[in-house]
Structure 1
Amino acid sequence: MKFQTLLADAKYEEREKAIAILVKSLRDVKIFDKDIKAKLKENYDLSDKEAAKYLQ
């Protein structure tokens, strides 16, 4: 799945939904939240606070 392409082309609301789908997908395959947070920060330039918001 090419989430980066989806995010690059999406409007803000669609980007929010795409990140939520990505987080759910990673959790479904048993990726730890701290690793998901690191990936979000690395790939999508999110701050700690922004990344944490998606993990709630």
Structure 2
Amino acid sequence: MATVEATFDNLTRAVAQPRRDMRAVVRAIALDLAGKLLMGIAIGLGIVIGMAIAG
């Protein structure tokens, strides 16, 4: 009977969802924030250049 229990334990481990890697989560958040920051800077520069051209 021990082999049957071991088999089910192995199946449970194999089917279980993988743990989330915290580095991947932090990296995704940092990349998202960096993208938003760069987009804000680009929009701001566009407005400044447009206002400078307009006079």
Q: TM-score range by the shorter chain?
A: 0.3 to 0.5
Q: If each structure's helix is expressed as a fraction of its own residues, which one has the higher value? A: 2
Normalised by the size of structure 2, how large is the TM-score?
A: 0.36
Normalised by the size of structure 1, how large is the TM-score?
A: 0.36
